Amino acid sequence: MVTDRSRLHIAVQKSGRLFEQSRDLLKGAGLKLQGGKNALTARAENFPLDVMFVRDDDIPTFVADGVCELGICGQNVLEEYALGQAARRVRTVTNLGFGRCTLKIAAPDGVVYKTEMLAGQRIATSYPRLLAHFLAERAIEAEIVPMKGAVELAPRLGIAKFICDLVSTGATLEANGLAAVETVLASEAVLVRTLKPMAPALAERADALLTRIDGVIATQESKYIVLNAPKAALIEIARILPGAEAPTVVPLAGRPGHYAVQAVCQESVFWETLEKLKAAGASAILVMPIEKMML
């Protein structure tokens, strides 16, 4: 594939569990994407970036080879790929907070599990390298049965006794009479960057986009809180505000000893948090979403 070296390229899953949130992240970073639903690429109108829609399994290769300077994929896919390489050729820039799942070993319901039990057994998985690594670290020899999909059927079909597969809600395991017994890898979507050298102008564009993406991620959890409080309550209130560094405290006009407190909270603000703030003496508490943030 020949790519225009004056533009950035980001590899994103074409369809599947990561597609929507990957697209929303890019939109949140202000990119206006052209191209229809079935297009293989989309051009950003207002940023020198092309999006390439590919299968998630191919994303690490695209980024490692420098066909795309950036990519979004699950850590599961990334680590499985990396274990097959002599050296790491992509760098994880940031965790994206979506696509969370766990690669787990599962056993038939009712098995009283111990790790050593895996020795000599057949384990079906779509992640043979991650599983091999897990077993090697524990000096367990077992037979890995690679499968492309429908791994959860393997025990019922007599192909393997155990499986090693991604789990999010656990419903698939449950429906197949299996129970998760061991964690191999906790995963979420990550933004990756090629380790191939980039021309300085392109690297600058990548940095600019990554700064925007960091801002999008920061605003997702962050809230802006404004409240009133008497002087005596300020220390306790600052302690309760979740993930807020150095709140702004300004005197309230006409109410001696009372202050307005403003803070960016970089963690979730729950009703319980508001109740605690009120109990500590806060009043007129406002919680507002933050639209854009540049850190």
Residues contributing to the site for ligand PRT (CB under 6 A): 13, 16-18, 55-57, 74, 76-77, 99, 101, 165-172, 187
In the bound complex, what is the minimum distance in angstroms from residue 163's beta carbon to ligand PRT? 10
- Evaluate whether 152 touches 176 at the Cβ level (below 8 Å): yes
- Evaluate whether 281 touches 230 at the Cβ level (below 8 Å): yes
Nearer Cβ to Zn ion, position 57 or 221? 57
User: Could you tell which of ligand PRT, Zn ion, none binds residue 170, using a CB distance below 5 to 8 A set by kind?
Assistant: ligand PRT
Nearer Cβ to ligand PRT, position 181 or 293? 181
Nearer Cβ to ligand PRT, position 98 or 224? 98
Binding site for Zn ion (CB under 5 A): 56-57
- Within 8 A by CB and 6+ apart from 54, the residues are 11, 12, 13, 14, 40, 62
Position 90, amino acid: V
Cα–Cα distance for residue pair 197/86, rounded to 1 Å: 18
Nearer Cβ to ligand PRT, position 57 or 236? 57
The number of CA neighbours under 13 Å toward the Cβ of 144 is: 19
Beta-sheet strands, E only, within 141-247: 143-146, 162-167, 178-187, 189-194, 223-230
Nearer Cβ to ligand PRT, position 13 or 266? 13
In the bound complex, what is the minimum distance in angstroms from residue 151's beta carbon to ligand PRT? 7
In the bound complex, what is the minimum distance in angstroms from residue 101's beta carbon to ligand PRT? 3
User: Could you tell which of Zn ion, ligand PRT, none binds residue 128, using a CB distance below 5 to 8 A set by kind?
Assistant: none
User: Could you tell which of Zn ion, ligand PRT, none binds residue 133, using a CB distance below 5 to 8 A set by kind?
Assistant: none
Nearer Cβ to Zn ion, position 47 or 81? 81
In the bound complex, what is the minimum distance in angstroms from residue 16's beta carbon to ligand PRT? 2
User: Could you tell which of Zn ion, ligand PRT, none binds residue 167, using a CB distance below 5 to 8 A set by kind?
Assistant: ligand PRT
- Within 8 A by CB and 6+ apart from 161, the residues are 107, 108, 121, 122, 123, 155
In the bound complex, what is the minimum distance in angstroms from residue 22's beta carbon to ligand PRT? 10
Strand-strand pairing, 122-125 and 143-146: parallel
User: Could you tell which of Zn ion, ligand PRT, none binds residue 99, using a CB distance below 5 to 8 A set by kind?
Assistant: ligand PRT
In the bound complex, what is the minimum distance in angstroms from residue 277's beta carbon to ligand PRT? 35
CB-based closest residue to ligand PRT = 74
Cα–Cα distance for residue pair 210/193, rounded to 1 Å: 10
- Evaluate whether 46 touches 30 at the Cβ level (below 8 Å): yes
Cα–Cα distance for residue pair 68/50, rounded to 1 Å: 9
